[in-house]
């Protein structure tokens, strides 16, 4: 099937088999099947990238103003502080009531896995990953709409190891799937050097994998913020959850909440996810989804607390 979505100015095409259907852009992006189908050849995402780099999206974000002047200078200690401060801002803005209580409970439950994950030399493995990555990541200039905390993801995914995982599945620094990298490579807006590079080369290179992972995350953010109309903080927390659990799973749970009359925001989403996981304690996918952001929040705390230990 080929789905054709139209904006006011730019046509957008997706090919899935041999059928053809025309949809408005918002309906196209809202179509649950798009999130579910694994083998999509996508030609429409230049439109998303165009929108995501538009000045209305790229203007300085709210969380840029919460960084104190005394840690604006780029150094190792300030880098760790920025991740913690921005993450704290997001959680304070997006969590309340049951969602906040659930998040705090899970954060406490998984805390020891982060704070006591040590090497044979008694070094915390996440703090070690931070110190190994800093000489590389300190040079990255994130777009203003991308929060600093997303750079915690490769610590959790791979402990900042280039060849972590299985090349046939999740692999490399960001544990990217073959299909995700292939999709990014096929975008006409993707730089030529990435389009001509092998998938494994991208996944095992710190700079290239980070570039692809951020493009991937920003597409999630575009959907949740610009199409589904979630707040900026909610949209990023949903995007990070989607990175782990899959956007299809996140979207289906949101649709279930809507059918049940539950207000759509991240706090209610997390509360619903937590309840669903509590009823299915053996479901590893649900457990991973519930614990993903609390793991990252603990990583930001342990790096902040132990950044001087090397």
Helix locations, 10-152, DSSP H: 25-30, 32-36, 45-52, 55-58, 76-94, 97-115, 125-137
Structural domain contains residue 182: yes
Structural domain contains residue 49: no
Residue 120: predicted pLDDT: 64
Bigger pLDDT: 68 vs 292: 292
Contact present, 240 and 296 (Cβ < 8 Å): yes
Structural domain contains residue 125: yes
Structural domain contains residue 112: yes
pLDDT band at 12 (very low <50, low <70, confident <90, very high): very low
Range of the domain at 152: 73-306
pTM: 0.81
Judge whether residue 93 has pLDDT over 90.
Answer: yes
Judge whether residue 132 has pLDDT over 80.
Answer: yes
Structural domain contains residue 248: yes
The total domain count for the chain is 1
pLDDT in tens, 216-250: 999 999 999 999 999 999 999 999 999 999 999 99
- Residue 229 Cα to chain centre, angstroms: 17
Work out the average pLDDT over 187-199.
Answer: 89
Structural domain contains residue 119: yes
| Average confidence score pLDDT of the chain | 82
Range of lowest pLDDT (49-58, 209-218, 289-298): 49-58
| Percent of all residues in the chain with a pLDDT value above 90, rounded to a whole number | 65
- Give the whole-angstrom CA distance, residue 97 versus residue 6: 40
How crowded is residue 216: how many other Cβ atoms within 10 Å of its Cβ? 21
Range of lowest pLDDT (94-98, 118-122, 169-173): 118-122
Structural domain contains residue 106: yes
Structural domain contains residue 8: no
């Amino acid at each position: 099937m080929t789905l054709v979505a139209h904006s006011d100015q730019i046509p957008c095409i997706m090919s899935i088999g041999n059928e053809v259907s025309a949809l408005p852009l918002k309906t196209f992006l809202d179509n649950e099947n798009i999130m579910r189908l694994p083998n999509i050849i996508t030609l429409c995402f230049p439109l998303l990238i165009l929108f995501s780099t538009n000045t209305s999206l790229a203007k300085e974000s709210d969380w840029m103003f919460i960084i104190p002047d005394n840690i604006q200078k780029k150094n190792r200690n300030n880098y760790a502080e920025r991740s913690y401060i921005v993450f704290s801002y997001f959680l304070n803005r997006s969590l309340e009531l049951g969602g906040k209580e659930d998040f705090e409970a899970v954060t406490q439950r998984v805390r020891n896995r982060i704070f006591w994950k040590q090497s044979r030399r008694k070094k915390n493995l996440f703090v070690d990953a931070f110190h190994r990555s800093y000489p590389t990541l300190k040079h990255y200039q994130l777009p203003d709409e991308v929060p600093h905390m997303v750079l915690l993801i490769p610590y959790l995914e791979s402990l900042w190891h280039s060849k972590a995982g299985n090349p046939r599945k999740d692999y490399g620094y960001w544990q990217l799937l073959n299909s995700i990298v292939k999709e990014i490579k096929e975008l006409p807006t993707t730089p030529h050097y990435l389009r001509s590079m092998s998938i494994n080369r991208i996944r095992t290179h710190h700079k290239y994998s980070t570039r692809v992972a951020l493009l991937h995350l920003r597409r999630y953010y575009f959907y949740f913020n610009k199409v589904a109309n979630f707040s900026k903080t909610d949209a990023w927390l949903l995007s990070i959850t989607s990175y782990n659990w899959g956007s299809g799973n996140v979207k289906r749970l949101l649709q279930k909440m809507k059918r049940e009359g539950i207000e759509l925001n991240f706090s209610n989403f997390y509360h619903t996810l937590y309840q669903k996981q509590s009823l299915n304690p053996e479901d590893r996918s649900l457990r991973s989804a519930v614990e993903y952001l609390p793991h990252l929040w603990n990583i930001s705390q342990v790096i902040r607390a132990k950044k001087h230990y090397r």
